[in-house]
Amino acid sequence: MEEKKLYSPKVMKEILEKYGFKFSKGLGQNFIIDKNVIDNICDSAQIDDKTGVIEIGPGLGTLTQSLCKRAKKVIAIEIDSSLKEVHKETLPYKNLELVYEDFLKLDLDKLIDEKLAGLEVKVVANLPYYITTPIIMKILEGRHRISTIAIMIQKEVAQRLVADPGTKEYGAITLAVKYYSSARIAMIVPNTVFIPKPKVDSAVVVFNVLERPVVSVENEKLLFEIIKASFGKRRKTLLNSLSSGLSYSKDEIREALESCKIDMSIRGEKLSIEQFAHIANNLIKK
């Protein structure tokens, strides 16, 4: 059977017309039409015959097709069940299983245990941009048996995820990502390689998920409360942000910052994840 070049705009339009498919803006449906981008995503994720892939949102199946050719097994999760008929034509792969569900509601541990036992599990996706952060946090916070995440997201969001301390992109989400993974931008992707064309450019981000968080803290919840409080009011000093955002007294916070040798007048956005962890471990003793 001849394989369809789904990334070709002409082929894509034929399929869309044949099945009367209408793009849903609300579901973030922007389909890729560039083979290089697809290859780059698969290369960055290092997909091979020992990999079990979870793909979020296969759409017509353009990226799925390449994943099926490289990986041992692919589980593709698509919320839009109106694509079922399309998939029968576009994705005739024996190593593929399609699941028509909302990724955010999925029991990932169960899926990995039941369907991807013995394989190195990687998540790959051209993400629906309206739920980028909840998806990333679900994967990272869940501590599932997942080694790598390779996703295409909005360029501005990608820059926030991999930002360095002291830059304007650095924020609470950057620190959450740094806590669980080491992340890098693998490629910047122009908005011209999608149908329909989104307003903004995109980037492929690769996260190598750490076996253990990068810092060790006695109370993870407190660490994230400190981070949230530090970024809550960007113009306040660290001492003021923490004392208004946490249930510790100003004196307790001052003492903790002193034992960590952190300048009270510094702003939260200058601190590294190691410094935040240090503060958390000192405050917990109060």
CB of 94 to ligand SAM, least distance (A): 20
232's enclosing H/E stretch is helix 220-232
CB of 72 to ligand SAM, least distance (A): 20
> How far apart (Å, rounded) are the C-alpha atoms in residues 266 and 250?
15
Q: Which residue is nearest to ligand SAM (CB)?
A: 57
Token pair, residue 153, equals 């997201």
Select 77 or 177, whichever has its Cβ closest to ligand SAM. 77
The residues that bridge with 181 in the sheet, in sequence order, are 209
* Cα four-point dihedral sign 25, 26, 28, 31: negative
CB of 105 to ligand SAM, least distance (A): 8
Select 83 or 217, whichever has its Cβ closest to ligand SAM. 83
Select 80 or 169, whichever has its Cβ closest to ligand SAM. 80
Contact 281/218 with Cβ under 8 angstroms?
Answer: yes
Select 125 or 238, whichever has its Cβ closest to ligand SAM. 125
CA neighbor of 245 nearest in space, from 261, 260, 234, 255:
234
CB of 187 to ligand SAM, least distance (A): 14
What does R_g of the chain's alpha carbons equal in angstroms? Answer: 21
CB of 118 to ligand SAM, least distance (A): 25
Select 55 or 269, whichever has its Cβ closest to ligand SAM. 55
Torsion, Cα of 89, 48, 146, 135 (10° steps): -40
Name the site residues for ligand SAM (rule: CB under 6 A): 27-32, 56-59, 62-63, 77-80, 102-104, 126, 128, 131
Backbone dihedral region for residue 59 (phi beyond 0: left; psi -120 to 50: alpha; all else: beta): left
> How far apart (Å, rounded) are the C-alpha atoms in residues 42 and 140?
20
Select 9 or 166, whichever has its Cβ closest to ligand SAM. 9
Token pair, residue 263, equals 């300048």
CB of 80 to ligand SAM, least distance (A): 4
Q: At 267, which amino acid appears?
A: R
> How far apart (Å, rounded) are the C-alpha atoms in residues 63 and 43?
12
The angle subtended at Cα 98 by Cα 192 and Cα 86, nearest 5°, is: 60
Select 166 or 196, whichever has its Cβ closest to ligand SAM. 196
CB of 91 to ligand SAM, least distance (A): 11
Helix (H, G, I), strand (E, B), or coil: what is residue 77?
strand
| DSSP-derived secondary structure letter, 154 | E
